[in-house]
A and B are shown apart, each in its own frame.
Chain A
């Protein structure tokens, strides 16, 4: 396992809609994005999903939290928020073995594009690759040590 590539990708995905959407609708969009990510990553040759997790902070103590660990188990999504809003930002961490972060970024952008079409929203993706490469450099112990 120690020789398998592990380059976590962190990113922010900012969604916007022309009209306000309910938290239920945003939760569905969030879930859809995570499902697409799970499928795209899980079906990539040589990939092993450790954890793909997302968090949308919605003010006060409200949030939408989403998580996927493979392409078979369902996406785990929870929220304690209510009401409606015209946009939200999801902080995303893609911890996937076997895929370089450039590939993860490409899969993320593809998943977001597919989401936009399906849900009639706009989005911008802000990946943070260089910092994660540095983080990975620190984590070089071997699993059998």
Chain B
């Protein structure tokens, strides 16, 4: 079972990307499960994903980067036993701290987990604002990432994208960086990159 963790601040496009990614993975014959963590009583993302026909597990009532980390691991245990997916894609709340989540998952290594990869989504439209008020969270997400995706290429300016790319490459020179629009079908090169994480 492969684990993909999709991080990114609130409103960055994680859910839209996750739906595209899961659809692509399923079209390639992979058995996919989605795990969604939302803050708030009404789970909106999980309802949307379920409406799109995916198998979705919720972790509600808090944030999986802190007190619900154990519940996430329990959910993965249940998934492994009851559903045996090839890939589990996890979307933490956009308010989660990826560093804390990575730490929690590292402490809970499981024999059924073949690999764990982190994909960080960045919003170039709000990069300056987020760096001003949430820099530790943004940098933490990039530093933990194997892959950095600069989303909203359809509406962001070239300057905003370049600025975001600079921040990402400075924070994590090893990470591969892609510019994309999550609303579009998954780019072939990007899918190849993600697919290579799943082997």
Chain A: residues with CB nearer than 8 A to chain B? 1, 4, 6, 8-12, 48-51, 53-55, 57, 61-63, 65, 67, 69-70, 73, 78, 91-93, 95, 128, 131-132, 134-136, 138-141, 143-145
Contact = CB atoms under 8 A, between A and B. Distances in A.
B61 A135 contact: yes
Given A50-B10, A51-B11, A143-B136, A69 B126 contact: yes
The 4 closest A-B pairs by CB, nearest first: A138-B62, A50-B10, A51-B11, A69-B11
Given A51-B11, A55-B47, A95 B133 contact: no
A36 B168 CA distance: 33
Contacts of A12: 42
Contacts of A48: 129, 133
Contacts of A145: 97, 99-100
B134 interface: yes
A50 B155 CA distance: 18
A63 B42 contact: no
B41 A132 contact: yes
B40 A139 contact: no
Contact of A54 (B44, B66, B123): B44
Given A69-B126, A73-B155, A10 B42 contact: yes
Contacts of A65: 48
A1 B137 contact: yes
B136 A50 contact: no
B39 interface: yes
Interface of B: 9-11, 38-42, 44-45, 47-48, 51-53, 60-63, 65-68, 93-95, 97, 99-100, 123, 125-126, 129, 133-134, 136-137, 155, 183
A58 B20 CA distance: 21
Contacts of A136: 39
Nearest to A50: B10
B125 A138 contact: no
Contacts of B53: 61
B12 to A, nearest CB: 8
A69 B134 CA distance: 15
Contacts of B11: 49-51, 53, 67, 69, 95
A50 to B, nearest CB: 3
A138 B68 contact: yes
Nearest to B48: A55
Contacts of A138: 61-63, 66-68
Nearest to A2: B136
B67 A143 contact: no
Given A50-B11, A63-B51, A95 B39 contact: yes
B142 to A, nearest CB: 14
B143 to A, nearest CB: 14
B51 A51 contact: no
